[in-house]
Amino acid sequence: MGIGVGIFLLAVGAVLAFAVKATVAGISIVTIGVILMIVGALGILLDLVLFAPRRRSSAVVTEGYVAPTTTTRRTVEERY
């Protein structure tokens, strides 16, 4: 579940919990809305905690002197 799905669940849950005044026999619309908001918030938090380190990009630059008659060698490594 990504951040977008978490935000969607959070929004649908808020609408069901606070805006819908319909009644269904045997089902509480407010409770379903609260459950969806909790699941959406947990999804957002888990996505940020577990997958955010993988999304950071890092670059490793190595510059070294190769030989007196050649130019400087540069190595760039990018991780996603």
Mind listing the pLDDT tens digit for each residue in 21-60?
888 888 889 999 999 999 999 999 998 888 776 655 666 6
> What is the residue range of 73's domain?
3-79
Into how many domains does the chain fold? Answer: 1
Give the Cα separation of 45 and 11 in Å (integer): 15
Model pTM? 0.62
pLDDT band per the 50, 70, 90 thresholds, residue 2? confident
CA–CA distances in Å: residue 66 to residues 26, 60, 70, 74, 75: 77, 18, 7, 10, 12
Query: What percentage of the chain has pLDDT greater than the value 90?
Result: 39
